[in-house]
Amino acid sequence: MRLIQLRSFRPLSLLLLGSASLFHASPAQSADFVRDPEWRAGFLGSYRVLAAVEPEITEDERTALRETLNQMSTSLPAAAQHLQGAINQQSSAALNLVLGNLYFQTGELERAQQQYRQAIGKHPNFLRAYQNLGLLEVQRDQHDDAIRSLSKAIELGAKEARLYGLLAYCFLHRQDYLAAEQAYREAHLLDPDNRDWQMGLVQVLSQSGDHQATITLCRQLLDEAPDNAVLWKLIANAQVSLQQPLAAAKTLEMARVYSPGDPSSLALLGDIYFNEGLFALAQSSYAEAIAQSGDQAFEPTLRMAGLLLRSEEVEPAYDLLQKIQQHATIPANRELDVLTLQAKIQRRQGNEAEATETLRKIVNLDGTQGEALLELADYHWNHGEQAAALERLQQAQRLEAYRFDALVRHAQLLVSLKRYDEAAERLNQALQLREEPRIQRYYDQVRRAAQGV
Provide mean pLDDT across the span 327-339: 89
**Residues across the chain:** 453
**Can you give the pLDDT at residue 213?**
94
- pLDDT tens for 161-199 read 999 999 999 999 999 999 999 999 999 999 998 888 999
What does pLDDT average to over the chain? 84
pLDDT in the model for residue 369: 80
| 15 and 87 Cβ atoms separated by less than 8 Å | no
21 band by pLDDT with thresholds 50, 70 and 90 = very low
pTM of the model: 0.64
| C-alpha 356 chain-centroid distance | 40
Buried b (16+ CB within 10 A) or exposed e, 402-421: bbbbbbbbbbbbbbeeebbe
Mean pLDDT of 127-154: 93
Quote the pLDDT of residue 352: 79
Of 264-268, 280-284, 286-290, 349-353, the one with minimum mean pLDDT is 349-353
- State how far the Cα of 144 lies from the Cα of 121, in Å rounded to an integer: 19
Instruction: Round to whole Å and give the CA distance between 38 and 47.
Output: 10
Output 275 or 44, whichever has higher pLDDT: 275
Residue 13 has pLDDT above 50, yes or no: no
- Alpha-carbon separation of residue 421 from 93, 349, 381, 385, 430 (angstroms): 86, 35, 20, 22, 14
176-180: long-range contacts, CB 8 A cutoff, minimum separation 24: 177/204, 177/207, 177/208, 178/208, 180/204
Of 58-72, 160-174, 299-313, give the lowest mean pLDDT range.
58-72
Burial class (CB in 10 A: 0-12, 13-18, 19+), 315: middle
Report residue 249's pLDDT band, with 50, 70 and 90 as the boundaries: very high
Q: DSSP labels for 225-274?
A: -TT-HHHHHHHHHHHHHTT-HHHHHHHHHHHHHHSTT-HHHHHHHHHHHH
* pLDDT the model gives residue 1: 41
Q: Which candidate, 365, 377, 437, places its Cα nearest to that of 402? A: 377
Residue 378 vs residues 93, 266, 387, 412: alpha-carbon distances, Å: 79, 35, 12, 11
pLDDT band at 2 (very low <50, low <70, confident <90, very high): very low
> CA-to-CA distance for 287 and 317, rounded, in angstroms?
10
**Rounded mean pLDDT of 223-231?**
89
pLDDT of 42:
53
How sure is the predictor about 9, in pLDDT bands with cuts at 50, 70 and 90?
very low
For residue 62, name the pLDDT band (cuts at 50, 70, 90): confident
Cβ atoms 265, 232 nearer than 8 A: yes
> Residue range 92-105: average pLDDT?
90
Tell me what pLDDT residue 52 has.
61
| Interval 409-423: pLDDT, tens | 999 989 988 999 999
Residue 116 has pLDDT above 90, yes or no: yes
Half-sphere exposure of 443 (CA within 13 A, CB side): 17
Q: Residue 352 and residue 385: Cα distance in Å, rounded?
A: 14
pLDDT tens per residue across span 267-278: 999 999 999 999
When mean pLDDT is compared across 53-62, 105-114, 269-278, the lowest value belongs to 53-62
Identify which has the larger pLDDT, 416 or 41.
416
Average pLDDT over residues 36-42: 54
Q: What is the pLDDT of residue 15?
A: 27
**Percent of the chain at pLDDT exceeding 70:** 88
pLDDT recorded at residue 4: 35
Higher pLDDT, 259 or 82: 82
